[in-house]
Structure 1
Amino acid sequence: MRELRLFFGEIWRTIMFFGIGYGLMMLTVALTFRFVRVPLGNLLYALFLGWVVLIAFLASEFRIRRRFYREACARMDNPSSLTSADTFLAAGTAEQRFFVDLLHRTHDAYRRELGEVTEQKQFYELFTTRFAHQMKTPLTVVQLLEQEMLSAYPSCVALAEFLDSLSEERVRLETTLGIMLGAARLHSFSFDSRMEEIDLVELVRSVVNAHKREWVRRGIYPKITVDQQPVIVRSDRKWLQFVIDQIVCNALQYGRMERTIENGMPSSTFLMQFKSNANNTVLSFTDQGIGIPPRDLPHVFEPFFTGSNGRSHSRATGMGLYLVKEILDRLGHKICIDSTEGQGTTVTVTISRSDYLSAADSLRK
């Protein structure tokens, strides 16, 4: 029926003009019949021949065009075939052959343009990745120089303050490079992930310990609570570590109100809680910081969104939480954020015990 609709949608003008011409012919015969006596049987026979010719014409045209319609409909019903290199359609008429030739030329031009874009994208990813890796070397040297200068002049307060500011900027640059590298690698995620059994508590502790100086500098006390040990999950260690590091960096940046440290003790707490059951493992990060305004909360996972907090903190890139959400979606994990402005924020990551491949497949669909 679909092929017939396509056919009559294309041939209806021929039928219309045939009907008009046939009607004019019959009108001429009727007017002539007033003066010349013509047997009624002859008129009916002429009418019958006209319809036979029309039906034969339509049947012949439909037979010629039908295969083209069938193959075109099959490709429309299967979207994946539209990107295939096999774009040939069986053309029965000159118009269809012209259309197929135009389709081939358009497809070839599209493939050439796509190849150029793909090549540029690969070059960009390669350049970004190598640039980020090369920048890590001088940052490591800067860190070593900081330690040497602190060891050489332990009593110099001015130098200690200077090195503290330098260390803060170095950490900021390292975080930015990590986001850049994560964004570049994300495009090749399916070729750069390995699922394995991970001790989640040990992984979180390693990330927290990597920021020892930042916790002290910002007056935040990280606290880990576990209902049972060990907490074993199945995920990709490198990507999950990146996710946890981004959440921790956000806590360091926004997880403390502007208040001083009292009696040498941190003025704020960053709580990491682990809860496990038969179905999943829930890891929550709770800070006592500035919080997120209600109007910004629905948009925190959008790329380059910084919100009012980001505008007041020039270090915000708007890419950290976007990458976190993308990575967790690809891993088959879930994330949600609850926040009260002026009181703090809770980020919850849920890692299901379901099979990773089924989760990833459902995401791609």
Structure 2
Amino acid sequence: MIILYIINFIVLAFFYNKLGGFKENMSYFIFLSLFFLMCFLVYKYILNKQIYKKLSEKPKSMDDMLTIDPHSPLEEAFFKTIQEYMKLYNKDINFMKNSQKEYKIMLNNWVHQMKTPVSVINLLAQNNYDNEDFQKVALENRRIDYNLSQILTFLRIDDFANDMKIEKVNLKIVALEVVNELKEFFITQSVFPKLSISQNLSINTDKKWIKYAIYQIVNNAIKYSKKNGTVYINGFVEEDMVVLEIINRGIGIKKSDINRIFDVFFTGDNGRTFGESTGVGLYIVKKVLDILDHKISVKSKPGEETIFYIYFKP
């Protein structure tokens, strides 16, 4: 628009000069032209200032761009274009959500179907446990069952808040249930549990999910312990907070890995060495504890020990 104005100004000035009109009024002609140009630019700015303001602001959501009340053809065209982009965006989002939902349903059904033969294999192994080969089968079958359970939990973690029930839970009872469920793993790994939790130590949490979190940490503690080692599970009060401490003497965690152990699919040096880590367990633990509003921390000395702490608010 400005370019057309400049061309028009030059053409008019040329012919006006040819006709002898600039002998005394050249400066007046230029001033008048610039004045009208400035008026036009101010008018266009006022007319389209909503767009300029929106484009200069950082949007907080996609709907922010749809709050324009168009007052000019440019604003109306801009508004319609944004609406069309929003339709395409929502269409893509819905397609992705539906695809993800179908994928989760398919994977969930597959895991449940796999659980049946795993249960049958476990029953056969238990009935023939005196046989050394069946003991090995039982151990490998346990790993399959453990990984299948991890997949199920991973699929359900986004809906965890809908399944949450906060209540007063006895910490020692939960810890004993975890140890009992891992009894065979303790035996096969030649590792021993040692609990030191007061009988009346209670926490406000969801029993099902805190049990899952503790199970994952203790399972890892057994896996990475030295033969004939001990996993210590201690509960105590510190500065008005209940603290669960899980210690294992073993390979420890490298300093370069320790800040990433809660990242999804991160296996670290230990996972590559032992080849059994999926990098999912501790990720789920952290996510569960975050939703439950419990804090977790870890410290480790490579080649010596690893200590996990879970902090429960009063």
Give the TM-score taking structure 2 as reference length.
Answer: 0.86
> Residues 68 and 90 of structure 1 are in contact (CA less than 8 Å); yes or no, is this contact kept in structure 2?
no
Structure 1 SS opposite 2:290: helix
Q: By how many angstroms is 1:219 displaced?
A: 1.3
Amino acid at match of 1:79: K
CA spacing shift, 1:315–1:36, aligned 2, 3 Å: closer
> Residues 191 and 230 of structure 2 are in contact (CA less than 8 Å); yes or no, is this contact kept in structure 1?
yes
Correspondence for 1:264: none
The reply to whether residue 234 of structure 1 matches residue 204 of structure 2 is yes
CA spacing shift, 1:132–1:200, aligned 2, 3 Å: farther
> Residues 193 and 230 of structure 2 are in contact (CA less than 8 Å); yes or no, is this contact kept in structure 1?
yes
Q: Which residues in structure 2 correspond to 1:120-135 (within 5 Å)?
A: 120-135=99-114
Correspondence for 2:225: 255
Correspondence for 1:180: 151
CA spacing shift, 1:342–1:30, aligned 2, 3 Å: same
CA spacing shift, 1:292–1:55, aligned 2, 3 Å: closer
Correspondence for 1:307: 268
The reply to whether residue 212 of structure 1 matches residue 193 of structure 2 is no
The partner residue of 1:298 within 250, 259, 268 is 259
The reply to whether residue 316 of structure 1 matches residue 277 of structure 2 is yes
Distance 2:108 2:211 in 1: 18
Correspondence for 1:64: 47
Q: By how many angstroms is 1:284 displaced?
A: 0.9
Structure 1 SS opposite 2:128: helix
Q: By how many angstroms is 1:73 displaced?
A: 5.7
Q: By how many angstroms is 1:308 displaced?
A: 2.4
Q: By how many angstroms is 1:20 displaced?
A: 8.9
Q: By how many angstroms is 1:32 displaced?
A: 8.8
> Residues 234 and 244 of structure 2 are in contact (CA less than 8 Å); yes or no, is this contact kept in structure 1?
yes
Amino acid at match of 2:150: I
> Residues 126 and 138 of structure 2 are in contact (CA less than 8 Å); yes or no, is this contact kept in structure 1?
no
Correspondence for 1:289: 250
Distance 1:47 1:32 in 2: 17
Correspondence for 1:198: 169
Amino acid at match of 2:184: R
Distance 1:133 1:36 in 2: 92
Correspondence for 2:234: 273
Distance 1:342 1:57 in 2: 77
Distance 1:163 1:215 in 2: 17
Distance 1:69 1:131 in 2: 53
Gaps of 5+ in 2: none
Q: By how many angstroms is 1:191 displaced?
A: 2.2
Distance 2:55 2:236 in 1: 53
The partner residue of 1:54 within 26, 31, 37 is 37
- Cα deviation per residue 1:16-58 (whole Å; 9 max; x = unaligned)? 886797699789989998x9864xxx66654554344234323
Q: By how many angstroms is 1:246 displaced?
A: 0.7
Shifted more, 330-339 versus 48-57: the winner is 48-57
> Residues 68 and 92 of structure 1 are in contact (CA less than 8 Å); yes or no, is this contact kept in structure 2?
no
CA spacing shift, 1:63–1:281, aligned 2, 3 Å: same
Structure 2 SS opposite 1:188: helix
Give the TM-score taking structure 1 as reference length.
Answer: 0.75
> Residues 251 and 270 of structure 1 are in contact (CA less than 8 Å); yes or no, is this contact kept in structure 2?
yes
- Cα deviation per residue 1:65-117 (whole Å; 9 max; x = unaligned)? 134445x269x45513x157x83634444444443333222221111111010
Correspondence for 1:340: 301
Structure 2 SS opposite 1:171: helix
Superposition RMSD in Å: 3.1
Gaps of 5+ in 1: 1-12, 151-156, 258-266, 354-365
Structure 2 SS opposite 1:184: helix
- Cα deviation per residue 1:117-169 (whole Å; 9 max; x = unaligned)? 0001112222233333333333233333333335xxxxxx5x2x122111101
The reply to whether residue 103 of structure 1 matches residue 82 of structure 2 is yes
> Residues 225 and 249 of structure 2 are in contact (CA less than 8 Å); yes or no, is this contact kept in structure 1?
yes
Amino acid at match of 1:232: S
CA spacing shift, 1:236–1:36, aligned 2, 3 Å: closer
Correspondence for 2:128: 149
Distance 2:111 2:206 in 1: 21
Shifted more, 61-70 versus 195-204: the winner is 61-70
> Residues 186 and 192 of structure 2 are in contact (CA less than 8 Å); yes or no, is this contact kept in structure 1?
yes
Structure 2 SS opposite 1:175: helix
- Cα deviation per residue 1:289-324 (whole Å; 9 max; x = unaligned)? 222233322322222222222122222112111221
CA spacing shift, 1:319–1:43, aligned 2, 3 Å: same
> Residues 88 and 104 of structure 1 are in contact (CA less than 8 Å); yes or no, is this contact kept in structure 2?
no
CA spacing shift, 1:185–1:163, aligned 2, 3 Å: same
> Residues 226 and 251 of structure 2 are in contact (CA less than 8 Å); yes or no, is this contact kept in structure 1?
yes
> Residues 221 and 269 of structure 1 are in contact (CA less than 8 Å); yes or no, is this contact kept in structure 2?
yes
